[in-house]
Amino acid sequence: MFPARFGTLLATGLLLGAPAIAQQAGPPLGLVPLPRAVQTSAGTYALPQQVSVYAAGPAAQNVAELLKGFLAPLGKTVALTTNRQAAQIRLLPAAAGASGGPEAYQLVVDKSGVSITAAGGAGLFYGTQTLLQLLPAKAAAAARVPYVRIADAPAFGWRGGMLDVSRHFFPVSFVKKYIDFLAAYKLNTFHWHLTDDQGWRIEIKKYPKLTQVSAFRKQTLIGAQQTFKTPADFKYDGTPTGGFYTQDQVREVVAYAQKRYVTIVPEIEMPGHSVAVLAAYPELACKPGPYETWTMWGVIDDIVCPTEPTFKFFEDVLTEVCGLFPGPYVHIGGDEAPKTRWKESAAVQEIMKKEGYTDVEKVQGWFNRRIEAFLAGKGKKMVGWDEILEGGIDNKATVMSWRGEKGGIEAAQHGNDVVMTPAGYLYLDAGQNPRPHSPDEPLMISGYLPLEKVYGYNPLPKELTPAQQKHVLGPQANLWTEYITTPAKAEYMLFPRLLAVAEVAWTPAAQKNYAAFLPRMGQQFAYLDAHNINYRVPEPVGLDSLSMRQQGGQAVFTLRSLVPGARIHYTLDGHMPDETTELYTKPLAVPQGARLRVRAVTIAPNGRKSPPAELLVR
Ligand code: ACM
């Protein structure tokens, strides 16, 4: 399911002797993530309105079926044909001896049409995603594909995106859309954060109160929690909220993801982030309840007690979860589990005595190992946040490094597989505005994570030897949803940064280049518009002191927009620019010493406006 990383270019022969990336005249092809090897040549192939597709074998037929849906918005119909010669698009099994694994593909466009060759369905699927990026984003009179030869394979086998559906519940329709986002950009792992203090989101037949009680909370904190001094200052909306996925819906999502070569990693949090469980089943706590599903954010002392009824509960839950999710991994959380209640618990003291522990953290390791053995009995591998290291792990657990890279480095050195998801680089709930809590942004958690920082992340820490680096399965972006209340807001936080994540995950670090990424990324906005994705329109680039030139007592700024066809409007008096304020047409020269607040916005071709870039010029 998760092929090993590729150390070498595809040994397909297709591009032997060619430079890794051929130079091409004219604008870049706009491909994200950047393929390993691209050769363009003069000419284009016109895809007709009625496209015939030759699909050899069941995987190719699955991809051909999906292609019908992908090409429909372009006004094209797809019919399968058994006549390979007559087909405009050919989905072909890789020739015997081809290497690169099931996710690698070759895409050739020439006067005979489009050929995608791959050893597996995933590779054929990724070839079609690349093809779609070569076509216009929406129905156009002429759908011409440039002649090109592409050989491509991912840098990492785990290319993940997490969605927290506990803090806010997202409908199945958006979960599928999120999977579409991942698949379109060649990410292959959907980490579904299904349970947390604020809501349990998966139907478990044996424990009906999980969906009757734990799936709902009576109200939600209003505003940014971090801006209040004490809980006494908190205000709540007084509105009950919640929701859950039925097992039928889970099966529907699993099938949807499978067709798109996305593996789902379900997360069932334990022993922390579990007060919603205690709201329904208080007997699993160390202290008598009652408890309620949490209505604020953060870390709560009330966690499950590591007693036999708790093991029975989670084993029953995991039995149903393992039956629903065919992927090899199950995530058990393990993060942010305060030991306050465990320290006070006679039952925990008893365990410590029996196991010879003096450190209560070791009890969590003991708990995890028992759950891990249970999962192994179901043929599943356990994943946990990096706190699982603190209780002691064997070398089979997969560690998700979120508190920086330290846990990931330690785990890889210990011989454990690792997924890199350091909060400072890959937590996409952090803001995209350099001004903290800018009034120009929607409410969000603190932190600043610009596109460039995401793009620059290298999942292979240099502290690791090449042998240890092999334990790094890949990177993953996480979207926590304390303040992300709607699909539109999720899209605002995801895009365009998810495009940078895609390249971190797919493209070898040596081929990455931020300046070259930006125009390729720019070409994706048309696709995001065509799919009605509420991306954050990036503010103009260049309004900063580093980009300033001084000329004759003036500060001169050369601005540009990352969105093709966008216009930049500005003001010099601190007012919010819009369509009615000055249009930027040439480098902006402002007198120095005048203390002017310069603000500039991008207005995208779709009419949407960016937050302002701004600078106080002294
Ligand atoms: C986490 O962000 N608590 C894994």
Q: How far apart are CA 160 and CA 153, in angstroms?
A: 16
Q: Say whether pLDDT at 488 is over 60.
A: yes
Q: How far apart are CA 458 and CA 509, in angstroms?
A: 7
In ligand 1, which atom is closest to the CA atom of 423? Answer: 2
Residues in a beta bridge with 55: 91
Q: Say whether pLDDT at 12 is over 80.
A: no
Minimum CA distance residue for ligand 1 atom 2? 402
Q: How far apart are CA 398 and CA 404, in angstroms?
A: 16
Q: What does the domain layout of the chain look like in residue ranges?
A: 5-152, 160-268+291-296+385-530, 549-617
Ligand 1 contact, 336 CB (< 6 A): yes
Residue pLDDT, tens place only, 66-113: 999 999 999 999 999 999 999 999 999 887 666 789 999 999 999 999
What is the CATH T-level fold of the domain 5-152, as seen in this structure?
A: Chitobiase; domain 2 (3.30.379)
Ligand 1 contact, 335 CB (< 6 A): yes
Distance 403 CA to ligand 1 centre (A): 8
Question: What pLDDT is attached to residue 618?
Answer: 86
Question: What pLDDT is attached to residue 594?
Answer: 83
Q: Say whether pLDDT at 302 is over 60.
A: yes
Catalytic residue among 65, 292, 315, 336: 336
Question: What pLDDT is attached to residue 5?
Answer: 36
Please state which of the ranges 135-139, 408-412, 465-469 shows the lowest mean pLDDT.
Answer: 135-139
Residue pLDDT, tens place only, 495-514: 999 999 999 999 999 999 99
Integer CA distances (angstroms), 2 to 129, 242, 391, in order: 19, 34, 27
Look at the chain and count its residues. 618
Residue pLDDT, tens place only, 418-453: 999 999 999 999 999 998 889 999 999 989 999 999
What is the CATH T-level fold of the domain 160-268+291-296+385-530, as seen in this structure?
A: TIM Barrel (3.20.20)
Please state which of the ranges 17-26, 138-147, 180-189, 303-312 shows the lowest mean pLDDT.
Answer: 17-26
Mean pLDDT confidence for 480-488: 98
Q: What is the DSSP string of 400-468?
A: EE-SSSHHHHHHHHTT--EEE--HHHHBTTSBS-SSTT-TTS-S--S-B--HHHHHT--SS-TTS-HHH
Q: How far apart are CA 168 and CA 151, in angstroms?
A: 40
DSSP code of 301?
S
Predicted structure pTM score: 0.95
Minimum CA distance residue for ligand 1 atom 3? 335
Q: How far apart are CA 91 and CA 51, in angstroms?
A: 13
The three-state secondary structure class of 180 is helix
Residues in a beta bridge with 217: 241
In ligand 1, which atom is closest to the CA atom of 336? Answer: 3
Ligand 1 contact, 394 CB (< 6 A): no
Contact call for residues 52 and 80 (beta carbons, < 8 A)? yes
Residue pLDDT, tens place only, 114-163: 999 999 999 999 999 999 999 999 988 789 999 999 999 999 999 999 99
Distance 187 CA to ligand 1 centre (A): 21
Question: What is the pairing mode between strands 613-617 and 596-603?
Answer: antiparallel
Distance 335 CA to ligand 1 centre (A): 6
Distance 397 CA to ligand 1 centre (A): 17
Contact call for residues 67 and 78 (beta carbons, < 8 A)? yes
Contact call for residues 384 and 333 (beta carbons, < 8 A)? yes
Mean of the per-residue pLDDT values of the chain = 94
Work out whether the CA dihedral 352, 356, 357, 362 comes out positive or negative: negative
Tell how far CA 491 is from the center of its chain: 11
Question: Above pLDDT 90, what percent of the chain?
Answer: 90
Q: How far apart are CA 608 and CA 533, in angstroms?
A: 12
| 336 in catalytic set | yes
Question: Above pLDDT 70, what percent of the chain?
Answer: 95
Question: What pLDDT is attached to residue 18?
Answer: 38
Higher-pLDDT residue of 16 and 122 is: 122
Q: How far apart are CA 298 and CA 482, in angstroms?
A: 9
Residue pLDDT, tens place only, 550-565: 999 999 999 999 999 9
Which helix H or strand E contains 90, and what residues bound it?
strand 89-93
Question: What pLDDT is attached to residue 369?
Answer: 96
Ligand 1 contact, 244 CB (< 6 A): no
**Alpha-carbon radius of gyration of the chain:** 26
Helix ranges (H only) for 160-246 are: 172-184, 209
